[in-house]
Amino acid sequence: MTRDLLFEVRDGIGHVTFNRPKTRNALTFEMYESLAEIFGGVSVGGGVTAVVIAGAEDSAFAAGTDISQFRTFSEPRHALDYEAQMEDVLQALERCPVPTIAAITGACTGAGAAIAAACDFRICDQNMKFGFPIARTLGNCLSVRNLNRLVVLVGYGSVKEMAISASLIGAEKALQIGLVSKVCSSGELVRERGTQLANSLKLNAPLTMKAAKEALRRLRDEGPEADDTDLIEECYMSDDFRSGIEAFLARETPNWKGN
């Protein structure tokens, strides 16, 4: 784990912090490796019930990849390897079996925006600027998979506008198009609200939330004919389902175990 990426668990909630405030939390290749490791290591019933991701300071959630790392790109494989690494990170985040919450403050651009879009929930402050300004800065491109994630999230028209015009979306428009679920007046409130949301999700059945996340991912990538047999069996054959039935009939609050 690098000091540029902090991870700690408090009261069952994992907190990931991008910790490079002098660079507006620009992400390094090492940070991507750590992110994939963190999300790949989370399991239902493993002590982490939800994960909140935030930037170290209010000026930025994450302002993309550290541009200095692109200076060494000289062959097609460098670009393809980078995009493959990004896809590994985003898939690890999407496949994380517990809810993920992006607590966005300030700049949320490039790879930072891709990471936020891959989370289950997004909360932001009034100063958020979200988008992919690469058409007027670097001149690289977004992968088809990344574009697909965004299209499913906010629609074809909004993504086309972001990608081609390189315009950034502010908090008000983000709320209107469903990119974020709540706008807070300060970065402190964003983080508080993110933790509150994570705590509220402890009341929900872990396997049900896991199944919903994975089923929606498969629906997006594979269509309505995607196989969901494993998800149905895991939920219906679980101890949680049995105890949930009895708790409901007894008018009691279920005690979820995640198995």
Of the pLDDT bands very low, low, confident and very high (cuts 50, 70, 90), residue 50 is very high
Percent of the chain with pLDDT over 70: 100
Percent of the chain with pLDDT over 90: 98
Cα–Cα distance for residue pair 39/253, rounded to 1 Å: 29
pLDDT exceeds cutoff 70 at 218: yes
pLDDT exceeds cutoff 90 at 1: no
pLDDT exceeds cutoff 90 at 80: yes
> Cβ(86)–Cβ(115) under 8 Å?
no
Question: For helices 111-118 and 76-95, what crossing angle results, to 10°?
Answer: 30
Q: Which residue in this structure is represented by tokens 């009034």?
A: 126
Question: For helices 144-154 and 206-222, what crossing angle results, to 10°?
Answer: 120
Residue 11: how many CB atoms within 10 A of its CB? 9
Q: Which pLDDT does position 129 carry in this prediction? A: 98
In angstroms, how far is the first alpha carbon of the chain from the final one?
Answer: 30
Residue ranges of E strands in the chain:
5-10, 13-18, 50-55, 60-63, 100-104, 107-109, 121-125, 129-131, 169-170, 182-184
CA angle 23, 81, 129 (to 5 degrees): 35
Q: Smallest Cα–Cα separation from 54: which of 197, 162, 211, 204?
A: 197
Structure tokens at 255: 């005690």
Please write the tens of the pLDDT for every residue from 192-210: 999 999 999 999 999 999 9
> Cβ(18)–Cβ(31) under 8 Å?
yes
Average pLDDT over residues 51-78: 95
Question: What's the chain's average pLDDT?
Answer: 96
Please write the tens of the pLDDT for every residue from 118-174: 999 999 999 999 999 999 999 999 999 999 999 999 999 999 999 999 999 999 999
pLDDT exceeds cutoff 80 at 2: no
Q: Which pLDDT does position 134 carry in this prediction? A: 96
pTM of the model: 0.96
